[in-house]
Copies of this chain bind each other. A is one copy, B any other.
Amino acid sequence: MSTATVQAPPVVAAPRRLGHQTVHWDCAPAVIASASIGGPMEGAGPLGAYFDTILEDNRYGERCFEQAESKILRDAVRSAAGQAGWQLAEIDALLAGDLLNQIVSSNYAVANTPLPLLGLFSACATIAEGLIVGSSLLEAGVAARVVAAASSHHEAAERQYRYPVEFGAQRPATAQWTATAAGAIALGVPDPAATAASQTSGAATGVPRLPRLTYATIGKVVDMGIKDPYDMGTAEVPAAWDTATVHFQETGRDPAYYDLIVTGDLARIGSEIFREGMRRRGLDVSSRHVDCGVLLYRAEQDVHAGGSGAGCAASVLAGYLLKEMRAGRFRRMLFIGTGSLHNPIALQQGQNIPTIAHAVAMEA
């Protein structure tokens, strides 16, 4: 066939783009409700009181761990929708993903429901990607009610990524514990009158502040040559550095703008390296940095470097962080989801672990 070699037309600019990776939403999408579910270990951790549901066991009444994960994700979505006062048939899009191959937890979770699904994958950064896509659908006016959700399951992830837990493989000190958990966040643009009431009252009157999503920095894939699947926190640090640095550059903000800078999940070892590297970049986050993988478990819970998994960041955000923000405990949060984007076969084939970090700014 003949191929036209004419000049492609110039395109119009994006008014809500700041620099190469950062966007802002004029409509300021709000967290209308959020829900989190955790397994028994997660429930026994320091954030236990923030879960809407804590499982009695990791099977959750299902025949296998994989189906249990699907049920956890489904229940988190239903709970967030319920708390938002939304019927499932009113939800315009579910933005969901998980760690299982072909994101089957998400796919099976909503089979034969009225939920339109846009499946996502950014590993442990999936909830951040969901917030970015969801907020953009709201800004575009193509959706009024969206839910972003992500999950992971310890036993299902271990046997897919490493070894079945029954095998009893020894875990090095750098290993992270994939959380059995899910988080779901219902986003919408509040009716202006309702918003005004909530913004002026705050925690004092019991009316929750609405966390609004204002900026996001979409991550690039960073590959620093790391190959150890038992040290994913360290692998994800360069992506976190990159996205955080770009975020501060492109927004003109500095770390002190935020009350809280959250990563999910670098765990203990990665968090140290992250803070040190940010300090060397002249962007000291030490006094306000926390990590979901560090927050989720007690040191004595034998989780080595800390938690991980798409459900770790999602449940800590949907539970602890957003509930505390709605209660007025802090006002400005930068949430940086971090994910390892490999699979076991790629590592066997000699590839590295590429990683990504997506950042979302939330302000109440």
Contacts and interface: CB of A to CB of B under 8 A. Distances in A.
A326 B108 CA distance: 38
Given A100-B343, A108-B341, 9 more contacts: A1-B49, A9-B210, A67-B349, A101-B101, A111-B354, A114-B220, A117-B122, A117-B220, A133-B136
Interface of A: 1-4, 6-17, 20-21, 23-25, 30, 32-33, 49-50, 63-64, 66-67, 83-85, 89, 92-93, 97, 99-104, 107-108, 110-123, 129, 132-133, 136-145, 160, 186, 188-192, 194-195, 198, 206-208, 210, 218-223, 323, 326-327, 341-343, 345-346, 349-352, 354, 356
A-B pairs, top 5 by smallest CB distance, nearest first, are A11-B188, A9-B194, A107-B341, A23-B142, A116-B218
A116 B220 contact: yes
B11 A113 contact: no
A262 to B, nearest CB: 18
A122 B121 contact: no
A104 B218 contact: no
Nearest to A11: B188
Assembly of this chain: how many copies?
Answer: 2
Nearest to A132: B118
A64 B118 contact: no
Given A17-B144, A20-B116, A218-B116, A191 B129 contact: no
B191 A9 contact: yes
A121 B97 contact: yes
Given A142-B17, A142-B139, A189 B121 contact: no
A208 B6 contact: yes
